Structure 1
Amino acid sequence: MCGSYALAEPTEVLEDVFHVDVVGENLPVPSWNIRPTNQIAIVVDTIDAQSSTQLRRLESARWSLIPSWVKGEPPKFSTFNARSEDAAAKASWRDAVKSKRCLVPASGYYEWVVEAGVKVPHYIHSDHLIAFAGLYSWWRAAESDPWMLTATILTMPTVPELAAIHDRNPVPLPEQYWDEWLNPATVGTQELVDAAVAAAIPVASGFSEYAVNPLRGNGPDLIDPR
């Protein structure tokens, strides 16, 4: 699971880290309490129709993917996370696996652990910017509505180092795998997703974690140790 995360780095840092060519509009400001349906920053690679060149874009998306074939209201079930094990076979994700893969930048994420009968949030992080493997989709409720960019974060069975926190964790891709994951010329398959999970295991195994206070408000103090 990954139901809340933090991204403290501003747009300028994301541009530099991900070597972005095009910066989209209405990108969210740094936040330490990002929740499903919030706007989030995602990194995608696209092919320019006129020049046929590949461009890396930083865009704003709704966190909770809505497949383009959904009409009317968004689905009632949760779509902010996608299980990696069968992503290529599931109707909600398979089109995105094929051609709409993204990175979701994060400083860290939260999981809740029951301690003495109370759910306590733990902040799980690295010493550098994290790039979760994600999927995206363009959606609109009706033909008269504008298109909305939506996204989800892939999850995987937890690494042993985080097993005491939760039985699943997001898929954090190492930098050397970013180009492969984003390449729009690559037709995504379950094998590609499985390879991404394998590449993510050493990254997730290096994460650190500690307990924090209940997530109230939104500021850098949310990630202070409890």
Structure 2
Amino acid sequence: MCGGYALAEPTDVLEDVFNIDLVGENLPGPSWNIRPTNQVPVVVDTLGAAGDQHRRLESARWSLIPSWVKGEPPKFSTFNARSEDAASKASWKDAVKSKRCLVPASGYFEWVVEDGVKVPHYIHTEETLAFAGLYSWWRAVETDPWMLTATILTMPTVPELAAIHDRNPVPLPKQFWSTWLDPHAVGTQDLVDAAVAAAVPVAAFLTQYRVNPLRGNGPELISRA
């Protein structure tokens, strides 16, 4: 799973990395301690009225709320979605079909029990990661404004990370970004499975090290302990 991550890259860098055409409003700045329900940048491909395609960088709530949920957000956690059955689960299946996104990250955190204490580890590469994600537009009641919400897909862990956790996010290689985001494609479980297969070499290349307990929010949080 992925219960916390870091994104050190500012908006202008993300624009270059992901070849962004349109930048949305209220994008959050760099953060080294992103937690569920925080606002996070996501990358989506959309179609205009004339059928023209645009790549957008938008701000989303990290914890997807399906559009059919009314009233309060669900009590169960929705910041991660299991890839194995994403296309058949009520919370995710509509998003798999037509609302797929990328969630940029510098790296993510997992907590490992060492001598009876949960110790954070930072998992990353030197390049910006793009986790496979899903999104949904939601509002509690019809008079509320729409809110963009998102989740990160997870997969069974690669052997290289098995000592850290039994699952890891789905980090897509650059050559798969357009396939995953394609607004013309109706997403299926086969597409999700293909994304996981494409992510395996990226996940296997990730490195990890121990960091100090996550307090506050600054670049020191990803320094080696």
TM range (shorter): over 0.9
- CA–CA distance in structure 1, aligned partners of residues 69 and 118 of structure 2: 35
TM-score (norm. length: structure 2): 1.00
- SS of match in other structure, 1:198: helix
In the TM superposition, 1:104-115 aligns within 5 A as 104-115=103-114
Match of 2:98 in 1: 99
AA aligned opposite 1:194: D
AA aligned opposite 1:175: K
Match of 2:145 in 1: 146
- SS of match in other structure, 1:152: strand
CA apart distance, 1:127: 1.2
- CA–CA distance in structure 1, aligned partners of residues 189 and 179 of structure 2: 14
AA aligned opposite 2:134: L
Match of 1:172 in 2: 171
CA RMSD after TM alignment: 0.3
CA apart distance, 1:87: 0.0
In the TM superposition, 1:81-92 aligns within 5 A as 81-92=80-91
Any idea what the Cα deviations from partners look like across 1:56-112, whole Å, max 9, x if unmatched? 000000000000000000000000000000000000000000000000000000000
State the identity as a percent.
80
- SS of match in other structure, 1:57: strand
- SS of match in other structure, 1:119: strand
Match of 2:8 in 1: 8
- SS of match in other structure, 1:44: strand
**1:216 to 2:191 alignment:** no
- SS of match in other structure, 1:199: helix
Moved over 6 A (4+): none
Match of 2:28 in 1: 28
CA apart distance, 1:207: 0.2
AA aligned opposite 1:94: K
Would you say how many aligned residue pairs link Structure 1 and Structure 2? 225
- CA–CA distance in structure 1, aligned partners of residues 173 and 138 of structure 2: 29
Gapped runs of 5+ residues in structure 1?
none
Match of 2:52 in 1: 53
